Structure 1
């Protein structure tokens, strides 16, 4: 049984490495192709109402990824560089960073709960006690609630002022590239959701909602998970499942 679990974990790690490497290459190719056929994106005529809404959606999804990257990196300078690259290059950075994190797993980590080891910083795994005096759980609840409402308002406003997005003339080369960029980030978030959800039906439902409603779903899911934490809990606990929290050496301080 243990051998079967180890084999499954190894296949999962290799599959995710291959997936994120392919997605990174796909987005690089998409970016180069779009520049060649439609020029650089820094032109006002490209910024249609639905393009603007897509960019808002895209960058709200970048926020939780950037927060996680900042948590993972020990050096402030390195973390800042990765966040700048996330802002500038989007899912190329996301998929590249995830590929590197899965590549850095030790053989033992690859066989034992690899996603847990990718998500957590090494210090968090080794902490036996974590004081919650400086917890930002409440601030994060407010932040992602506001971001979710911002995207909902943007969606409603754009629908009312510019009509349905399902029109052929809206599918310009750059909005197509932006959508590919957006959905590659959604793949990364979906892997996390699939890991977090113990029931595959609920995982599939959340992933479908992610695909359909983008960052509105991302924010709703994060807020839902944040309300499972006490205000004094360290924020990084949102990354892992309740079972992994129980196995972790973390102890809540009353």
Structure 2
């Protein structure tokens, strides 16, 4: 095998180095920022949970299950589904994936923040200089990519699943509005409703980070995030279903996680110098 570098004028080489350093610094800042955000959000939810238990006892009571609380819980757990699906894909062992999903169902956004923070802390320095989101989203990027491409999940099944989940939440919302009126009433803001909303919107933050990364335009990203904040899991389901419809039935499902500029999407990995190889 013969390998040689493509020679570049020193001015172009200097420009490439400066751009590379700038991108690396931005990526490092992004990782540090995300670590800080999810650490703070996890602590916020833990404090909210402890405080709510101390003033309003445990949540396992029938009197708490008002129509809007039930609708909020449905909304919350539909948003948990894509997070759980990501964890199931991300974890190499079924048992660890199942344990994380059980923790996600039981402790909500505390688990979300802990899991994402753990993935961010695992980023090696060389990934820090490129696209850290690829490392966080994908399972063993680069090392196990061939296996990922061969293990095609059912895109069609997931399309149907998220369409059903979106319709379920839309039906729940319409039914609750018809039977219990508007949700914008003070009497609905019980301690456990507030805690559930905090839990819900911390998960929305995690989903919003992914939406912002995935969208090619910050304007479209902001529109989707506003819809996500306003309509919750209806938007989540519609967004994921639309992205799944952009894949063919033969595409590996992990492509839905990536944006259109990702090197992993196009089969390009850790290329740091321009080389030609002749065998």
TM band (smaller chain): over 0.9
Q: 2:162 aligns with which of 104, 123, 144?
A: 144
Residue 185, structure 1, aligned to residue 197, structure 2: no
Are 2:111 and 1:93 equivalent residues in the alignment? yes
SS at match of 1:122: coil
Query: Which of 263, 266, 278 does residue 246 from structure 1 map onto?
Result: 266
Q: Does 1:230 align with 2:255?
A: no
Does residue 48 in structure 1 map to residue 78 in structure 2? no
Q: Which residue, out of 124, 127, 131, partners 2:150?
A: 131
Q: Deviations over 1:88-133 (max 9, x none)?
A: 000000011000000000011112100111000015664247236x
Match of 1:114 in 2: 132
Q: Which moved more, 1:108-117 or 1:145-154?
A: 108-117
Mapped to 2, the partners of 1:13 and 1:66 lie a distance apart of 22
* Deviation of 1:247 (Å): 4.5
Instruction: Look up the match of 2:233.
Output: 215
Please, what TM-score do these two structures have when normalized by structure 2?
0.86
Name stretches of at least 5 consecutive residues in structure 1 with no aligned partner. 250-254
CA distance in 2, matches of 1:237, 1:16: 22
Structure 2 CA distance for partners of 1:124 and 1:166, relative to 1, 3 Å: farther
TM-score by length of 1: 0.95
Which has more radius of gyration? 2
Which digits, 9 at most, give the CA deviation of each residue in 1:27-67, with x for residues without a partner?
00000000000000000000000000000000000000000
CA distance in structure 1 between the aligned counterparts of 2:33 and 2:154, rounded to whole angstroms: 34
Change (3 A) 1:153 1:71: same
Q: How much has 1:248 moved relative to structure 2?
A: 3.9
- Aligned residue for 1:243, secondary structure, equals coil
Distance 2:90 2:150 in 1: 19
Which is richer in helix?
A: 1
* Moved segments of 4+, more than 3 Å: 123-126
Q: Find the counterpart in structure 1 of residue 22 from structure 2.
A: 4
Partner of 1:168: 186
Structure-2 residue corresponding to 1:30:
48
